[in-house]
């Protein structure tokens, strides 16, 4: 017969155990109401992965009417140990404290494979050649420069909740724990470009999509020295 003291310590131990477990991520139905499978989009849902956003083959973007982020995930387990494929689309504005009226607009697109890590984090491993990024400085001439973009991404944590009015809601957290904009499931079928390497772009390629726009060199300072040299090379060729 266990004494009340033993029972007390047993209860305390169980309590400590469960509180230490809840600090690690638990993927019970309250935190993972459905699987990641499908397409997720923030805000008004105008930013969506798939063919309408970016075309890495000819280095083009279609700008959505409003900013936002979108992710798609497949769920099959791949031969390399990844959990499946992802696609990422982002259109965001970035302020600049020293030039408050000069907002920078950034569009980014990547795809590749992802892994659900045992600590509850997610790693995105892009197909390095296919990622694309365009940066538009509102205070500079309109830029037609699109760069290759390859950014391995760690989400420290994730949750899927069921919102009573808007349905399934995916919350991703950046590597430092900061939450991204919540995204709602817009489709249970992932809306993605083909989940394979689509281009054979040389690393750090910078493309000017309209060679006649020479004034676009105003974006040069943002590309860094290597990008500038690349761009100069291209301009010289064109």
**Contact status: 203 vs ligand NAG (CB under 6 A):** yes
Contact region with ligand NAG (CB under 6 A), list: 5-13, 76-84, 91-99, 230-238: 91-99
**Contact status: 106 vs ligand NAG (CB under 6 A):** no
166 contacts 173 by C-beta, under 8 angstroms:
no
Contact region with ligand NAG (CB under 6 A), list: 16-24, 53-61, 63-71, 162-170: 53-61
DSSP label of 219: G
When CB distances to ligand NAG are compared, the closest residue is: 27
Q: Give the 3-state secondary structure of residue 27.
A: coil
Which one among 117, 162, 188, 210 touches ligand NAG, defined by CB under 6 A? 210
d(CA 178, CA 143): 30
Which one among 22, 66, 96, 189 touches ligand NAG, defined by CB under 6 A? 96
Concatenating the DSSP letter of every residue in 128-195 gives TTT-EEEEEETTSPPP-EEEE----EEESEEEEEEETTTEEEEEEE-TTSPBPPPEEEEESS---S-S
Nearer to ligand NAG, 13 or 27 (CB): 27
Phi/psi zone of residue 52: left (φ > 0), alpha (ψ -120 to 50 degrees), beta?
Answer: alpha
Applying CB under 6 A, what is the total number of residues that bind ligand NAG? 20
Report the interface residues with ligand NAG, using CB under 6 A.
27, 32, 34-35, 55, 58, 60, 96, 98-99, 104, 116, 128, 150, 152, 200, 203, 210, 212-213
């Amino acid at each position: 017969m266990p004494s009340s003291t033993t029972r007390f310590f047993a209860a305390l131990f169980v309590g400590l155990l469960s509180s230490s477990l809840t600090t690690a991520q638990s993927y019970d139905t309250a935190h993972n109401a459905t699987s990641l499978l499908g397409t997720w989009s923030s805000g008004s849902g105008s930013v969506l992965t798939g063919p309408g956003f970016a075309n890495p083959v000819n280095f083009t973007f279609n700008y959505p009417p409003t900013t936002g982020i979108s992710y798609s995930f497949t769920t099959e387990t791949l031969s390399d140990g990844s959990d499946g494929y992802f696609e990422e689309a982002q259109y965001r504005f970035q302020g600049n404290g020293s030039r408050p009226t000069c907002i920078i607009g950034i569009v980014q697109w990547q795809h590749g494979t992802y892994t659900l890590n045992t600590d509850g984090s997610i790693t995105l491993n892009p197909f390095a050649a296919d990622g694309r990024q365009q940066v538009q400085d509102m205070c500079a001439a309109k830029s037609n420069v699109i760069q290759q973009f390859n950014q391995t991404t760690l989400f420290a944590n994730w949750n899927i909740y069921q919102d009573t009015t808007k349905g399934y809601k995916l919350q991703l957290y950046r590597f430092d724990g900061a939450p991204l904009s919540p995204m709602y499931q817009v489709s249970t079928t992932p809306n993605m470009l083909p989940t394979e390497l689509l281009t054979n772009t040389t690393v750090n390629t910078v493309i000017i999509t309209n060679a006649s726009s020479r004034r676009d060199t105003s974006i040069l300072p943002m590309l860094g020295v290597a990008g500038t040299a690349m761009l100069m090379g291209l301009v010289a060729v064109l």
